[in-house]
Chain A
Amino acid sequence: MAAITLNVIVQGLLTGLVYGLMALGLSVIFGVMRVVNFAHGELTVVAMYAAFILFEILHLDPLIALLPVAAVFFGVGYLLQRTLISPFIGRAEHEQFILLVGLATVIVNGLLMIFGPDARPINLSYSFDSYAVGGIFIDKVRVLAAIAAVAVAAALFLFFRYTRTGTAIRACADNLTGAAVVGLNVKQLYAVTFGIGLACVGAAGTLMATIADASPSLAQAYTLLAFTIVIVGGLGSMVGALIGGVLIGVSEALAGFYVQPSMKSMFSFALLIIVLVLRPQGLMGRRL
């Protein structure tokens, strides 16, 4: 029994790291621009379909497809911010909400029109391989996806810490007026930030495609999932997003196994409510 529980926890933890990378994108966007990306899950599913197409046509392993997809998503994010979202910076939340919900509606129904409602699996040669470590079995795809997710997150962390652009973006997040006063090109930096947020989404979606089958119906659930993780971990905290992802991943896995798969997100929402009430800034967030 203990071995099974441990097995479930490990699997949930690995999935949770991919969730964490997805949420990281949301956290970066909100942390810097105070825009809540309500189309986050929809864009994640677009990345899943991108991975699916690249695999079907070019037989590209999603672990490799991750790079071009993330790069394209960076470009898409940059353009989205420059054109559509920019006028909404600093506007009321409900106005941003309608804009992004409109975008989400267009995306998810576009996917439905193009691909139909059926789930699209990626059948890798190692899809059903697993490692046996001390009595527990771990899916190979989850291990690889989790490693890739942590690698991308680490690269992002280094980017924000050590590059000039990364530092400039953090400056915008800390003090927008100050950043503008010292001559930073805020518009440009915001577009880069949104691009980075979407690059996370592109990478996470590609990895997610190896764990779950792409389907338009996942989109809204992923948006809510990303929110839950980010709030639990702490909006604007990069480490928090990963920790939140792991927590939610493990709680989903345990609830799915011991209670009922259909009730797994109920536990995530319960966790969200508890965190919001006891520690509204999230586990790793700064005091509100």
Chain B
Amino acid sequence: MNGIWFRTPRHGRVLGLLLLFGFALAPVLADRYLLSVLILVFYFAYLGQAWNLLMGFAGQLSLGHALYLGLGAYTATALWTLFGIGPWLGVFVAIPVATAAGLLIGWLGWRFAIEGVYFALLTIAFAEFTRIGFDNLQITGGAGGLFLPVNGEAAGKWWNLGGGPLLYYYLSLTLAAAATVLIAGLRQSPLGYRWLAVREDPQAAQAVGINIFRARMLAMLISSGMTAVGGVFYGFYYRNLFPSQVFDISRSIELILAPIIGGVGTVFGPIVGAIVLTPLGEALTALVQRLGVNAPGAKAIFYGLTLMVIISLQPGGVWPWLARRLGLDRSAE
């Protein structure tokens, strides 16, 4: 973190701090709806950081991150509903479960030199396989879903992640901020430079003595573990889980939009992407209502078109362009 912090021009640091303070004080002014939008912004920024670590730094495209999200969510909620173990403890079970899945996929893929599109399809296959498996797993409710009690004795307490929107607001803000600090630190670490070397040219990296397999695996473990934490948040925020939702490929796609639109391989791209995309989705909902279009899917059409336009105009993402505009060139690395 220090490296990036000190190399950022002063007005960039001021801007960053202002943004952080703004978000920290936002609940004073914002109403419930705005808070719920901001919670989603931070949630997607956080997951975007997790995915970007694997794709943007280690160069491995995963289209199956819903697997780690779902495993994290299901592990923590099942522990809570079945055994009464709260999420603050459950998260320490959720992380190993998801990283074990990441370990298996990474091991299978990279040991056998499965890369690029093939690796992406392997990740989809595992996520879909697990989705259908959970659809038929009776202990977690199968396709019928897993529900958290709404008015249970202990359900409303913060130590069971059952508080009001403020709790989720600050929790998601903390997650996003902590993830950014972690990623910025990793980016500047020897491991971060190893990742970039492996991403740019695996053969050259190997030639200078970098263990490619280990570098990629470390990225996978951190990324899947972080995603599992996001899953725990998802499970307790929405308080119901369906395999067809949490493990679905649309979840995997949704969580990679922010980092790609923001800028793959940059530290701040996932945040910028989430800040751009989430309100965009909300604005489209409002616009569609205002226009009186009452058809299902109208919003999604606008959303799809917007994605196509942004990726055509700014294929490298919004953040590198924005950073140049703000005179923050070097921090966009």
Contacts and interface: CB of A to CB of B under 8 A. Distances in A.
Interface in A82-113: 84, 87-88, 91-95, 97-99, 101-106, 108-110, 112-113
B190 interface: no
Contact of A106 (B114, B264, B301): B301
Given A95-B260, A98-B307, A102-B308, A273 B125 contact: yes
Interface string B295-306: 111101101111
B257 A113 contact: no
Nearest to A278: B112
A276 B116 CA distance: 13
Nearest to B55: A94
Nearest to B119: A276
Interface residues of A, number: 44
A104 B311 contact: no
Contacts of A269: 125-126, 128-129, 132
Given A94-B55, A280-B114, A280-B118, A273 B61 contact: no
A103 B312 contact: no
What DSSP secondary structure best describes chain A's contact surface? helix
Contact of A277 (B112, B120, B256, B311): B112
B295 A102 contact: no
A79 to B, nearest CB: 15
B286 interface: no
A109 B303 CA distance: 10
Contacts of A27: none
Interface in A237-288: 260, 262-263, 265-266, 269-270, 272-273, 276-277, 280, 288
A76 to B, nearest CB: 16
B47 interface: no
Interface residues of B, number: 47
B274 interface: no
Contacts of B301: 105-106, 109-110, 113
B108 interface: yes
Nearest to A112: B297
A130 B256 CA distance: 47
Nearest to A288: B113
Given A231-B118, A266-B132, A95 B311 contact: yes
Nearest to B115: A288
Contact of A109 (B55, B109, B300): B300
Interface stretch (A10-18, A46-54, A177-185, A220-228): A220-228
B121 A265 contact: no
Contacts of B133: 266
A105 B257 contact: no
A113 B296 contact: yes
A36 interface: yes
Contacts of B61: 93-94, 97
B295 to A, nearest CB: 4
Interface string B82-126: 000000000000000000000000001100111011101110111
B253 A266 contact: no
Contact of A224 (B124, B126, B296, B298): B124
- Determine which residue in A108, A265, A276 has the highest number of CB atoms from chain B within 10 A of its CB, and name it: A276
A224 B129 contact: no
A277 B108 CA distance: 6
Contacts of B114: 276-277, 280
Contacts of B311: 95, 98-99, 102
B307 A113 contact: no
Nearest to A227: B121
A266 B298 contact: no
- Determine which residue in B128, B250, B261, B311 has the highest number of CB atoms from chain A within 10 A of its CB, and name it: B311
A104 B63 CA distance: 16
B156 interface: no
Nearest to A228: B125
A276 B117 contact: no
Given A113-B296, A277-B108, A91 B315 contact: yes
Contact of A272 (B121, B298, B312): B121
Contact of B307 (A94, A102, A262): A102
B125 A276 contact: yes
Nearest to A34: B117
Contacts of A103: 304, 308
A237 to B, nearest CB: 14
Given A95-B315, A102-B308, A231-B121, 11 more contacts: A84-B308, A92-B264, A97-B61, A97-B63, A98-B308, A104-B304, A105-B304, A113-B298, A227-B124, A263-B136, A269-B125
12 contacts: A30-B117, A92-B264, A94-B55, A97-B120, A98-B311, A99-B307, A106-B308, A266-B128, A269-B126, A276-B121, A280-B114, A280-B118
Interface of B: 55, 61, 63, 108-109, 112-114, 116-118, 120-122, 124-126, 128-129, 132-133, 135-136, 143, 249-250, 253, 256-257, 260-261, 264, 295-298, 300-301, 303-308, 311-312, 315
